[in-house]
Structure 1
Amino acid sequence: MSRGNGTNPPDLVEVAALPMIEGQPDTATAGAWLIKPKRPVTPFAARVHGLTNQALEDKPGWEETKGAVHDLLGTAWVVAHNAHVDYRVLSAHLPQWQPAGVIDTLRLAKATYPDLSKYSLDALIEHVEPDLRQAPGQRHRATFDAYATAQLLITMADRYESWEQLVTAAVPPGTPEPEQEPTLW
């Protein structure tokens, strides 16, 4: 999951990645980075995620961080809520990065729970009630949202009989086409 400074195009201010091992989030191998943006964080973005210019002033910039982010992301499948946004932003910041595929829990939720009135991450957390007691940080921060998204994926994936069905429901257009059997779990 990534968070930006509120500009267009965004400068990254936070990135978190939470690998899945045997169907569970592996917090021991997770990565989280706070990044000093080149341009200031807008007041709106700071209200959403709580990251202010002052909180980021002593953090490394993207140039110092991108290698570690790229190494952790590797060529694994990426899961995010409203994933085309994270995929687009991360691809712009990491032009050499090529994930095996992208799963969008927003698309998956619309296919899995077609009668909900809203599909925001907050609405899905309220509907699904995943166990978030071990979630690091706070809501709207990349680490918490990555953990919540992983828990939602686990819950929704149980409703699909095959990987192909899940991919059909969850892979957004304009992202890499799956070429091989997944290693999600």
Structure 2
Amino acid sequence: MDFGTWPRLFVVDVEGNGAQPPDLVEVAAFPVLNGSPVPSSARSTLLRPPNPITPFATRVHHITNQDVADAPTWEQVGPQVHADLQGAWIAAHAAHVDYGVLLRHMPHWQPAGVVDTLRLARATYPTAGKYGLDALIELTGIDLAAVPGQRHRAGFDAHATALLLLDLAGHYDTWDALIAAAVPPGMPGAPRPATPDSEEQTLW
């Protein structure tokens, strides 16, 4: 894989308040530049949602209503998130979730493409059986000892997913081969079906 061919890409992760549809309580964007993670440029922000965080959501990510009492709102943070991610590729594990939540908060956002590391892992390791982030980290032997924070927090999960993406990318020769396996149908960046030759389009 020639990582120098990669476009601008951010691995993203979001945490919600447990409502349906969810309000954001944390958002992280972790840059990957030329196939290398860039922790120094990563952004992770707590948000004060318009509705309280449910006890179930707190049990998952351990973010309490007290933790976000003085945090900025999405209205304050959203324009910067939009500016960072506009026109860039994003990657996430089970990307339809993060993409869907972000798109609901940024209806005019247009990412260049969406890489799903869950879909990519299934293509790369078809017999793995389990494809959760924890299972894949164990399968690949990725060392998370130097990753700050804790599991199920947006910054930690985005960093871990970035390392998983780079490990999986090593199984593909080109960026085009990777996105053919990693972009869900209908998502931005999905390869278009081959166009038949003009002769085949002609009815005789």
TM range (shorter): over 0.9
Give, in angstroms, the shift of residue 62 of structure 1: 0.8
* SS class of match (2:67): helix
Q: What is the aligned partner in structure 2 of residue 107 from structure 1?
A: 119
1:8-87 paired onto structure 2 within 5 Å: 8-87=20-99
Partner Cα separation in structure 2 for residue 47 and residue 92 of structure 1: 24
Residue 174, structure 1, aligned to residue 189, structure 2: no
Residue 7, structure 1, aligned to residue 11, structure 2: no
Partner Cα separation in structure 2 for residue 178 and residue 118 of structure 1: 25
1:89-104 paired onto structure 2 within 5 Å: 89-104=101-116
Give, in angstroms, the shift of residue 90 of structure 1: 0.2
Contact 1:82 1:106 in 2 (8 A): yes
* SS class of match (2:188): coil
Residue identity matched to 2:65: N
Partner Cα separation in structure 2 for residue 151 and residue 33 of structure 1: 20
My pick for the range that moved more, 107-116 or 127-136, is: 127-136
Identity within the alignment, %? 56
* SS class of match (2:84): helix
Residue identity matched to 1:141: R
Larger of the two Rg values belongs to structure = 2
- The root-mean-square deviation of aligned C-alpha atoms, in Å, is 1.2
* SS class of match (1:173): coil
Partner Cα separation in structure 1 for residue 163 and residue 175 of structure 2: 17
* SS class of match (1:56): coil
Residue 134, structure 1, aligned to residue 140, structure 2: no
Contact 1:100 1:178 in 2 (8 A): no
TM-score by length of 1: 0.93
Residue identity matched to 1:95: P
Contact 2:14 2:154 in 1 (8 A): yes
Give, in angstroms, the shift of residue 69 of structure 1: 1.1
Give, in angstroms, the shift of residue 67 of structure 1: 1.2
Contact 1:3 1:141 in 2 (8 A): yes
* SS class of match (2:26): strand
Partner Cα separation in structure 2 for residue 125 and residue 149 of structure 1: 9
* SS class of match (1:68): helix
TM-score by length of 2: 0.84
Contact 1:31 1:72 in 2 (8 A): no
Give, in angstroms, the shift of residue 43 of structure 1: 0.9
Give, in angstroms, the shift of residue 135 of structure 1: 1.4
Partner Cα separation in structure 1 for residue 101 and residue 149 of structure 2: 22
Partner Cα separation in structure 1 for residue 64 and residue 156 of structure 2: 18
Unpaired runs of at least 5, structure 1: 180-185
* SS class of match (1:103): strand
Q: What is the aligned partner in structure 1 of residue 8 from structure 2?
A: none
* SS class of match (1:53): coil
